[in-house]
Amino acid sequence: MKALAVFPARRAVQVVDHPEPAITSPTGVRLRMLEVGICGTDREIASFQYGTPPPGSEYLVIGHESLGEVVEAGSAVRRVKPGDLVVTMVRRPCPHAECLPCRQGRQDFCSTGDFTERGIKGAHGFATEFVVDDESYMNVVPGALRDVAVLAEPLTIAEKAITQVWQVQSRLPWVAPPGSAGASAHRAVVLGAGPVGLLGAMALVRAGFATTVYSRASGPLDKAGLVASFGASYVAAETATVEQLAERVGNIDLVYEATGAARVSFRMMEVLGSNAVFVFTGVPGRKAPIELDADLIMRNLVLNNQVVFGTVNASRADYEAAIRDLAAFRERWPAALQRLITARHPLGGATQVLLAGPGGIKDVIAIA
């Protein structure tokens, strides 16, 4: 079968013939891959800055944002059945007994670093025709979400972040969950208008936050119109400094960073509000060191009771939340949700898409 592969040693990206996988355990499930999304991580792997092939393999089959259809299930499989649409989780636990997160199924918090990630680190991914995995990593998606379900994985990043924001903000007894009477502390700024930022903004709007997306206007896409269509505001970074942004927003209770750019992120941290939370989701590439006003940031962190955390990957609960949210987005903002997927490409044309860089919002490989 065909697979999209990255050869780090040879510095090559190409579609290869890859052996078709077979079910080898009673809880194994075989999927026909329908769609795979391409993100910044994939582009980093395709430029040989990130990613590790499985032991003994010269190449890594990439792809971690996926949608598949069950075509065969092992004898003990209970969670899924042939015909089901599923989104498969990315990360697999490390083998170490002392890693409590992995031993409790929370490999998204793996403490040894020896986890594997399908399509990223030590395990082949989903940009291929068939995949076999254990049912325990699969999440069933309603058939009605067929055309947008490939967005579930990038949305899990926001779901995990928002869950942790509420855990942190449970320190503020007067802050009621958004949507409920007396809700407060719900002014959010999303930094960046790529897929992670836009999906995060949708999730924040749905969670009851007054949400402002702050981003550099890029390309011909009308991001301001898109953002307005799902009930958030848009501020172009070219037209407003972070100080002006903060003036417009009021107390910034939450920053959801989705750029991977340190300079603008730490500038934004300087205007973070009181009792606020700043969440980092972007992974910056190695660049020259930047200058920042560390005294000001430290002073604000202390005097304003601020919390800064980073978050990566996602739990099963986050996948379930993402699938529920996609259904809700589709109900409320069907056109906006569709607009996040700006192009679909055949597997054979995926190499160019990976190497070209993001032209639109989300590029998707349509496999079947």
Q: Which is nearer to ligand BGC, 117 or 257 (CB)?
A: 117
What CA–CA distance (Å, rounded) separates 143 from 84?
Answer: 8
Q: Which residue is nearest to Zn ion (CB)?
A: 39
Amino acid at residue number 110: C
Give the C-alpha separation, 21 to 5, whole Å.
16
Query: Within 23-82, which residues bind ligand BGC (CB under 6 A)?
Result: 39, 41, 64
Residue from 39, 85, 347, 361 binding Zn ion (CB under 5 A): 39
Q: Evaluate the CA torsion angle 108, 110, 113, 116 in order and state its sign.
A: negative
Work out which of 120, 232, 235, 242 binds ligand BGC, going by CB under 6 A: 120
| Binds 124: which of Zn ion, ligand BGC, none (CB < 5-8 Å by kind) | none
Residue 313 interacts with which of Zn ion, ligand BGC, none, CB < 5 to 8 Å by class: ligand BGC
Taking CB under 6 A as the rule, does residue 118 contact ligand BGC? no
224 closest CA partner among 216, 233, 246, 196: 233
Does position 212 interact with Zn ion (CB under 5 A)? The reply is: no
- Least distance (Å) from ligand BGC to the CB of residue 202? 17
Q: Does 313 bind ligand BGC (CB under 6 A)?
A: yes
Is residue 117 part of the contact set for ligand BGC (CB under 6 A)?
Answer: yes
Amino acid present at 166: W
Give the total residue count for the chain: 368
CB of 89 to Zn ion, least distance (A): 12
Among positions 204-243, residues that touch ligand BGC (CB under 6 A) are: none
Choose among Zn ion, ligand BGC, none what residue 91 binds, the Cβ cut-off being 5 to 8 Å by kind: ligand BGC
Using CB under 6 A as the binding rule, the residues of this chain from 326 to 345 that contact ligand BGC are none
| Number of helices followed by number of strands (H, E) in the chain | 11, 19
Report the candidate in 368, 16, 362, 24 with the shortest Cα–Cα distance to residue 197. Answer: 362
Angstrom distance (rounded) from CA 191 to CA 257: 5
Among positions 33, 41, 124, 128, the unique one binding Zn ion when judged by CB under 5 A: 41
**Candidate residues 312, 328, 343, 366; the one interacting with ligand BGC per rule CB under 6 A:** 312
Q: Which of 34, 61, 90, 198 binds ligand BGC (CB under 6 A)?
A: 90
Binder among 91, 187, 206, 223 for ligand BGC (CB under 6 A):
91
For Zn ion, the closer of residues 28 and 192 by Cβ is: 192
Q: Strands of the chain (E only): list them.
A: 2-7, 12-17, 28-38, 60-61, 65-73, 85-88, 91-92, 116-118, 122-123, 130-134, 138-141, 187-191, 210-215, 233-236, 254-257, 277-280, 307-310, 341-346, 362-366
**Eight-class DSSP state of 176:** B
Q: Which residues form the interface with Zn ion (CB under 5 A)?
A: 39, 41
Contact residues toward ligand BGC (CB under 6 A) are: 39, 41, 64, 90-91, 117, 120, 153, 312-313
